[in-house]
Amino acid sequence: MSLRPVLVLLLLAGCSRGEDADLQYIGEARSLAAEWALINEQSNEGHLTTSYVKTMRRSLREQLHSTAKSLSQPQSRYGQEIAWLESAPDGAPPAELRAHAGKLKQIEDSLESA
Protein backbone atom coordinates (compact mmCIF):
# COMPACT_ATOMS: atom_id res chain seq x y z
CA MET A 1 0.00 0.00 0.00
CA SER A 2 1.29 3.41 -0.97
CA LEU A 3 1.72 6.17 1.58
CA ARG A 4 0.31 8.72 -0.82
CA PRO A 5 -3.43 7.89 -0.21
CA VAL A 6 -2.82 7.90 3.54
CA LEU A 7 -1.15 11.31 3.38
CA VAL A 8 -4.01 12.70 1.30
CA LEU A 9 -6.53 11.42 3.85
CA LEU A 10 -4.57 12.96 6.70
CA LEU A 11 -4.39 16.28 4.86
CA LEU A 12 -8.13 16.26 4.22
CA ALA A 13 -8.85 15.38 7.85
CA GLY A 14 -6.68 18.33 8.93
CA CYS A 15 -8.71 20.68 6.74
CA SER A 16 -11.88 19.93 8.65
CA ARG A 17 -10.53 21.60 11.77
CA GLY A 18 -11.02 25.25 12.57
CA GLU A 19 -14.05 27.31 11.69
CA ASP A 20 -15.69 24.62 9.56
CA ALA A 21 -15.37 22.10 12.35
CA ASP A 22 -16.76 24.64 14.83
CA LEU A 23 -19.82 25.43 12.70
CA GLN A 24 -21.99 22.93 14.58
CA TYR A 25 -20.96 24.44 17.93
CA ILE A 26 -21.70 27.96 16.71
CA GLY A 27 -25.22 26.89 15.75
CA GLU A 28 -25.68 25.10 19.04
CA ALA A 29 -24.58 28.13 21.07
CA ARG A 30 -26.86 30.39 19.01
CA SER A 31 -29.80 28.12 19.72
CA LEU A 32 -28.98 27.97 23.44
CA ALA A 33 -28.76 31.77 23.62
CA ALA A 34 -32.15 32.12 21.94
CA GLU A 35 -33.69 29.57 24.30
CA TRP A 36 -32.19 31.36 27.30
CA ALA A 37 -33.64 34.66 26.05
CA LEU A 38 -37.08 33.08 25.75
CA ILE A 39 -36.86 31.60 29.23
CA ASN A 40 -35.85 34.95 30.72
CA GLU A 41 -38.58 36.74 28.80
CA GLN A 42 -41.25 34.29 29.96
CA SER A 43 -39.87 34.36 33.50
CA ASN A 44 -39.99 38.17 33.57
CA GLU A 45 -43.64 37.98 32.55
CA GLY A 46 -44.38 35.53 35.37
CA HIS A 47 -45.24 32.60 33.10
CA LEU A 48 -42.69 30.13 34.51
CA THR A 49 -42.02 28.69 37.95
CA THR A 50 -38.83 29.61 39.74
CA SER A 51 -37.63 26.01 39.93
CA TYR A 52 -38.20 25.48 36.20
CA VAL A 53 -36.25 28.64 35.37
CA LYS A 54 -33.36 27.64 37.66
CA THR A 55 -33.23 24.14 36.16
CA MET A 56 -33.31 25.41 32.59
CA ARG A 57 -30.64 28.04 33.20
CA ARG A 58 -28.38 25.46 34.83
CA SER A 59 -28.89 23.10 31.89
CA LEU A 60 -28.22 25.87 29.36
CA ARG A 61 -25.02 26.85 31.16
CA GLU A 62 -23.81 23.23 31.20
CA GLN A 63 -24.49 22.89 27.48
CA LEU A 64 -22.76 26.21 26.73
CA HIS A 65 -19.75 25.13 28.76
CA SER A 66 -19.57 21.85 26.85
CA THR A 67 -19.92 23.71 23.56
CA ALA A 68 -17.15 26.18 24.50
CA LYS A 69 -14.79 23.36 25.47
CA SER A 70 -15.39 21.66 22.11
CA LEU A 71 -14.27 24.65 20.03
CA SER A 72 -11.09 24.24 18.05
CA GLN A 73 -10.65 28.04 17.98
CA PRO A 74 -11.84 29.41 21.33
CA GLN A 75 -10.12 32.78 20.77
CA SER A 76 -12.12 33.46 17.59
CA ARG A 77 -14.99 35.97 17.33
CA TYR A 78 -17.52 33.20 17.87
CA GLY A 79 -15.45 31.86 20.76
CA GLN A 80 -15.63 35.29 22.39
CA GLU A 81 -19.41 35.41 21.89
CA ILE A 82 -19.80 31.99 23.47
CA ALA A 83 -17.51 33.01 26.35
CA TRP A 84 -19.70 36.08 26.92
CA LEU A 85 -22.77 33.83 27.08
CA GLU A 86 -21.03 31.56 29.57
CA SER A 87 -20.32 34.51 31.85
CA ALA A 88 -23.67 36.28 31.45
CA PRO A 89 -25.80 36.65 34.57
CA ASP A 90 -28.73 34.25 34.94
CA GLY A 91 -31.23 37.07 34.50
CA ALA A 92 -29.51 38.66 31.51
CA PRO A 93 -31.91 40.84 29.51
CA PRO A 94 -33.53 38.82 26.71
CA ALA A 95 -32.64 41.52 24.16
CA GLU A 96 -28.97 41.26 25.09
CA LEU A 97 -29.02 37.46 24.79
CA ARG A 98 -30.75 37.76 21.41
CA ALA A 99 -28.15 40.28 20.25
CA HIS A 100 -25.39 37.77 20.95
CA ALA A 101 -27.41 35.01 19.29
CA GLY A 102 -27.72 37.33 16.29
CA LYS A 103 -23.96 37.83 16.13
CA LEU A 104 -23.47 34.07 16.21
CA LYS A 105 -26.05 33.71 13.42
CA GLN A 106 -24.13 36.20 11.26
CA ILE A 107 -20.90 34.28 11.83
CA GLU A 108 -22.65 30.99 11.14
CA ASP A 109 -24.15 32.31 7.89
CA SER A 110 -20.83 33.70 6.68
CA LEU A 111 -19.09 30.38 7.31
CA GLU A 112 -21.83 28.42 5.57
CA SER A 113 -21.63 30.61 2.49
CA ALA A 114 -17.83 30.50 2.29
- Predicted pLDDT at 58: 98
Question: What does each C-alpha distance from 41 to 35, 64, 73, 80, 88 come to in angstroms?
Answer: 10, 19, 31, 24, 15
Query: pTM of the prediction?
Result: 0.84
Over the stretch 88-99, which tens digit does the pLDDT of each residue have?
Answer: 999 999 999 999
- Predicted pLDDT at 18: 81
| Domain locations in the chain as residue ranges | 22-113
Over the stretch 76-88, which tens digit does the pLDDT of each residue have?
Answer: 999 999 999 999 9
